[in-house]
Chain A
Amino acid sequence: MKSMPDSWRRETKPHKFCPGCGHGLVLKALGMAMDRLKIADRTVFGVDIGCSLLAWDFFNADTIQTHHGRTVPVIIGAKRARPNLVGIAYMGDGGGYAIGSQHLINATMRNDRILIIIVNNTIYAMTGGQMAPTTLKGQKTETSSRGRDPKYEGFPLRGPEMVASFAPEGAYVARGSVSHVQRLARYLERGLENQLQDRGISVVEALSTCPTNWRTNAEDTWKFLEKEMTDYYPVGELVSPFKRDTQKEAADLETCH
Chain B
Amino acid sequence: MISKLETKKDEYPRPVEGERQAFMYGNEVVVWAALAAGAECLYGYPITPQNEVMHYWSRLAPDYGGKFLQTEDELSAGFATLGGIMAGARCFSATAGPGTILFQEPLAMAEMMRIPIVLVVQQRGGPSTATVIYSQQEVFLTIFGGNGEGLRIVYSPGSHQEMYDYTLKAFDVAWKHRFPTLVLGDGYQAKMRERVLLYDPAARGMEIEPTVPFVGLPGVPGVDREPAHWRNAFSVEEELYEELEPIINDYYRIAPSLMEKEEGYLDGAELILTGHGIVGRAVRTAVKELREEGFPVGFFRPLTLRPFPGKDLIRILDDCPRLLVVESAQGQLAKLIRISIGGELDHRVQMYPYFRPGLGISAEELVEEAKAILNGKREQKQEKEFSMSML
Interface residues of A (CB under 8 A from B): 9, 40-42, 44, 46, 49, 53, 56-57, 59-67, 69-70, 72-85, 102-103, 105-106
Alpha-carbon distance between A72 and B69 when the two chains are bound, in angstroms: 14
Contact A73 B75 (CB under 8 A): yes
Q: Within the complex, what minimum Cβ distance (angstroms) separates A78 from chain B?
A: 4
Alpha-carbon distance between A44 and B40 when the two chains are bound, in angstroms: 19
User: Can you show 26 pairs from A to B with CB atoms below 8 A apart?
Assistant: A56-B233, A59-B227, A60-B227, A62-B216, A65-B231, A65-B233, A70-B105, A70-B106, A72-B76, A73-B80, A75-B83, A77-B86, A78-B83, A78-B86, A78-B215, A79-B83, A80-B84, A81-B7, A81-B40, A81-B67, A81-B87, A81-B89, A82-B6, A82-B88, A82-B89, A103-B72
Q: Which of B184-229 contact A (CB under 8 A)?
A: 214-217, 219-223, 227-229
Contact A84 B83 (CB under 8 A): no
Alpha-carbon distance between A149 and B357 when the two chains are bound, in angstroms: 48
B54 within 8 A of A: no
Among the listed B73, B77, B215, B231, which residue makes an inter-chain contact with A62, where contact means beta carbons less than 8 Å apart? B215
Residues of A within 8 A of B6 (CB): 82-84
Alpha-carbon distance between A74 and B85 when the two chains are bound, in angstroms: 10
Residues of B within 8 A of A57 (CB): 227, 229, 231
Given known contacts A73-B71, A78-B216, A53 and B83 CB-to-CB distance under 8 angstroms: no
B1 within 8 A of A: yes
Q: Which of B233-263 contact A (CB under 8 A)?
A: 233
Considering only CB atoms, which chain B residue lies closest to A59 in the complex? Answer: B227
Given known contacts A67-B109, A85-B2, A62 and B75 CB-to-CB distance under 8 angstroms: no
Contact A77 B87 (CB under 8 A): yes
Q: Within the complex, what minimum Cβ distance (angstroms) separates A63 from chain B?
A: 5
Residues of B within 8 A of A70 (CB): 75-76, 79, 105-106
Contact A64 B76 (CB under 8 A): no
B5 within 8 A of A: yes
Q: What 1/0 mask marks residues of chain B from 53 to 89 whose CB sits below 8 Å from any chain A CB? A: 0000000000000010101110111111111111111
Given known contacts A62-B227, A63-B229, A74-B82, A85 and B87 CB-to-CB distance under 8 angstroms: yes
Interface residues of B (CB under 8 A from A): 1-2, 5-7, 40-41, 43, 67, 69, 71-73, 75-89, 91, 105-106, 109, 214-217, 219-223, 227-233
Contact B220 A44 (CB under 8 A): no
Alpha-carbon distance between A23 and B79 when the two chains are bound, in angstroms: 24
Considering only CB atoms, which chain B residue lies closest to A10 in the complex? Answer: B222
Q: Within the complex, what minimum Cβ distance (angstroms) separates A104 from chain B?
A: 10
Contact B83 A74 (CB under 8 A): yes
Among the listed A41, A74, A83, A103, which residue makes an inter-chain contact with B220, where contact means beta carbons less than 8 Å apart? A41
Alpha-carbon distance between A132 and B69 when the two chains are bound, in angstroms: 30
Alpha-carbon distance between A60 and B105 when the two chains are bound, in angstroms: 28
Considering only CB atoms, which chain A residue lies closest to B227 in the complex? Answer: A60
Alpha-carbon distance between A40 and B223 when the two chains are bound, in angstroms: 11
Contact A9 B227 (CB under 8 A): yes
Among the listed B73, B77, B222, which residue makes an inter-chain contact with A9, where contact means beta carbons less than 8 Å apart? B222
Residues of B within 8 A of A105 (CB): 72
Which residue, of A65, A69, A73, A76, has the highest number of chain B Cβ atoms within 10 A? A73
Alpha-carbon distance between A18 and B69 when the two chains are bound, in angstroms: 39
Residues of A within 8 A of B227 (CB): 9, 57, 59-63
Alpha-carbon distance between A76 and B72 when the two chains are bound, in angstroms: 12
Q: Within the complex, what minimum Cβ distance (angstroms) separates B90 from chain A?
A: 9
Among the listed B71, B214, B215, B221, which residue makes an inter-chain contact with A40, where contact means beta carbons less than 8 Å apart? B221
Q: Within the complex, what minimum Cβ distance (angstroms) separates B69 from chain A?
A: 6
Residues of B within 8 A of A64 (CB): 83, 86, 214-215, 230
Which residue, of A64, A72, A79, has the highest number of chain B Cβ atoms within 10 A? A64
Given known contacts A62-B215, A70-B75, A81 and B41 CB-to-CB distance under 8 angstroms: yes
Residues of B within 8 A of A81 (CB): 5, 7, 40-41, 67, 83-85, 87-89, 91
Alpha-carbon distance between A75 and B69 when the two chains are bound, in angstroms: 13
Contact A85 B82 (CB under 8 A): no
Alpha-carbon distance between A40 and B224 when the two chains are bound, in angstroms: 12
Contact A56 B229 (CB under 8 A): yes
Q: Within the complex, what minimum Cβ distance (angstroms) separates B138 from chain A?
A: 22
Alpha-carbon distance between A81 and B4 when the two chains are bound, in angstroms: 11
Alpha-carbon distance between A56 and B76 when the two chains are bound, in angstroms: 21
Considering only CB atoms, which chain A residue lies closest to B72 in the complex? Answer: A106
Contact A106 B76 (CB under 8 A): yes
Among the listed B40, B79, B88, which residue makes an inter-chain contact with A66, where contact means beta carbons less than 8 Å apart? B79
Considering only CB atoms, which chain A residue lies closest to B218 in the complex? Answer: A41
Considering only CB atoms, which chain A residue lies closest to B216 in the complex? Answer: A85
Residues of A within 8 A of B216 (CB): 42, 44, 62, 78, 82, 85
